[in-house]
Homo-oligomer: A and B are copies of this chain.
């Protein structure tokens, strides 16, 4: 089994760079997992390339595909036996995020209860949302780093309902949400009235530059952009432009499921261009709840086996960035351009 050759063939078919190590990891996962979505989760490279690799391995008689799932052939099993046995070692107590989930437990429990009645995700707005523990942990990390207490906070896109945790905590000086989905905005407003906290909410199209009143006005932003470079520029770049001064912080999620390491590299170059520094990248921090519209996605179309996921399978890393002197956000106007999809996307 020449993994480098397979990597080259996958690149030819998909135009997405994969490495020998990516394929080694994939083959090793197949020793334990048969559900396509769980395989994706552990593979940590873009979905179209994972599925193309699986087809390729099937042609080479390493993998067999049936209605039951994806499995190694006896030839594949032999080859895989010398490889790294993929295992999830993430800490059970903090779910691998590094922050103690037991802190501020009353806020967490209240939030878990409140969010049960939230609007369901809409495919129109690319709204896979994360587990309440993920949202709550964003608050914990932000708090620990000193980016929450007494701060003016901007949440760009809030289908994860972070503003509700922030409101319940009573810690920020102010919370502002820019979110296009009216259902979510109403939900946040209603909870705010019920729980007696205030959130400023505005519906904005992030493809356009931020109105002047948002510029240089916040200490901290949170966002979770779709995984294209243009969307990253629109969401993260706007967030940076909204920050008040050097030493302000921004948080965002970025996955490998729809972004190759090449795209991560380009993102990091873009961040360098904004003159911000990355202080944290926490692997698999955000865990997304299965959003229910899987069958309408490109990922479903690409999957060699049409089965639904059983567990949550879509995860992303959490980035924290800090501004340095001379930082500069994005004021690029994308008009009505589709900035949400590229060749590595498959769930938007």
Residues of A at the B interface (CB closer than 8 Å) are: 4, 17, 19-22, 24-25, 28, 82-94, 96-101, 103, 140-141, 143-144, 146, 148-151, 219, 245-249, 261-262, 264-265, 268-269, 272, 275, 277-283, 317, 322, 324-325
Contact = CB atoms under 8 A, between A and B. Distances in A.
A52 to B, nearest CB: 17
Contact of A98 (B20, B85, B97, B278): B97
Given A20-B245, A268-B278, A272-B272, A261 B93 contact: no
Nearest to A103: B89
Contacts of A149: 83-85
A325 B265 CA distance: 11
Contact of A94 (B28, B87, B98, B282): B98
Given A246-B19, A272-B272, A90 B86 contact: no
Contacts of A85: 149
Contacts of A151: 84
B245 A146 contact: no
Given A84-B148, A261-B322, A281-B281, A22 B247 contact: yes
Contacts of A245: 4, 19-20
A278 to B, nearest CB: 6
Contact of A93 (B88, B92, B265): B92
Given A28-B146, A94-B94, A146-B86, A280 B279 contact: no
A322 B99 CA distance: 25
A71 B84 CA distance: 52
20 contacts: A20-B246, A22-B247, A24-B146, A83-B149, A83-B150, A84-B150, A85-B149, A87-B143, A89-B103, A90-B144, A91-B98, A91-B101, A94-B94, A94-B96, A96-B99, A264-B277, A264-B279, A265-B277, A265-B324, A279-B317
A119 B345 CA distance: 52
Q: Kindly report how many copies of this chain are found in the complex they form together.
A: 2
Output the residue of A89, A150, A269, A278 with the most chain B CB within 10 A. A89
A160 to B, nearest CB: 19
B268 A268 contact: yes
Contacts of A249: 21
Given A28-B146, A85-B149, A89-B99, 12 more contacts: A19-B245, A21-B219, A83-B149, A84-B148, A91-B99, A92-B100, A93-B93, A94-B98, A98-B98, A98-B283, A261-B277, A264-B279
Contacts of A19: 245-247, 322
A190 to B, nearest CB: 29
Nearest to A271: B268
A281 B145 CA distance: 14
